[in-house]
Amino acid sequence: MKKKRAYNRFLAYGLSIAAFSSLLTIPAAAQTNVHVLDVGQGLSVLVESQGHYMLYDGGDRTKSSYVVSYLRDQGIVSLDYVIASHYDTDHLNGVVGALNVFPTGQVFSPDYTADTRVYHSFLSAIKSKKLKNKQPAVGSQYRLGDASFQILSPSGTGYSDVNNYSIAIRIQDGDTSFLITGDAEAESEAEVCRADLELDSDVYVMGHHGSGSSTTWELLQNVNPEYAILSCGAGNSYGHPHAESMEKLQSMDIQLLRTDKQGTIIASTDGSSITWNVSPCNDYTPGDPDDKPAKPQTSAGSSTKGNPSVNASSSRSVPASTTYILNTSTKKIHYPNCKSVKQMSEKNKKTTTESRESLISQGYTPCGNCNP
Check: CB of residue 56 under 8 Å from CB of residue 42. Answer: no
Instruction: Choose which of 38, 48, 90, 226 interacts with Zn ion (CB under 5 A).
Output: 90
d(CA 336, CA 359): 15
CB 122 → Zn ion: shortest distance, Å? 14
Binding mask 217-256 for Zn ion (x = CB under 5 A): ----------------------------------------
CB 336 → Zn ion: shortest distance, Å? 32
Query: Is the CB of 88 or the CB of 226 nearer to Zn ion?
Result: 88
The alpha-helical segments, DSSP class H, found in the chain are: 8-24, 64-73, 89-101, 117-128, 186-194, 217-223, 243-251, 259-262, 312-316, 339-343, 356-361
Query: Is the CB of 252 or the CB of 318 nearer to Zn ion?
Result: 318
Give the count of residues interacting with Zn ion (CB under 5 A).
Answer: 4
| Tally of residues, the chain | 372
Which residues fall within 8 angstroms of residue 154, CB to CB, at 6 or more apart? 110, 138, 164, 165, 166, 167, 168, 184, 188, 191
CB 245 → Zn ion: shortest distance, Å? 14
Tell me the window of 51-59, 180-188, 259-267, 304-312 that interacts with Zn ion (CB under 5 A).
180-188
CB 34 → Zn ion: shortest distance, Å? 18
Query: Is the CB of 319 or the CB of 368 nearer to Zn ion?
Result: 319
Query: Is the CB of 163 or the CB of 177 nearer to Zn ion?
Result: 163
Tell me the window of 85-93, 130-138, 343-351, 357-365 that interacts with Zn ion (CB under 5 A).
85-93
Would you put residue 331 in left (φ > 0), alpha (ψ -120 to 50) or beta? left
Pairing of strands 332-334, 324-327: antiparallel
- Write the DSSP string, 323-347: -EEEETTTTEEE-TT-HHHHHS-GG
Query: Is the CB of 206 or the CB of 257 nearer to Zn ion?
Result: 206
Segment 135 to 164, residues that bind Zn ion, using CB under 5 A: 163
Instruction: Choose which of 183, 191, 226, 270 interacts with Zn ion (CB under 5 A).
Output: 183
Tell me if 185 contacts Zn ion by CB under 5 A. Answer: no
CB 88 → Zn ion: shortest distance, Å? 3
Query: Is the CB of 32 or the CB of 163 nearer to Zn ion?
Result: 163
Tell me if 88 contacts Zn ion by CB under 5 A. Answer: yes
Query: Which positions touch Zn ion (CB under 5 A)?
Result: 88, 90, 163, 183
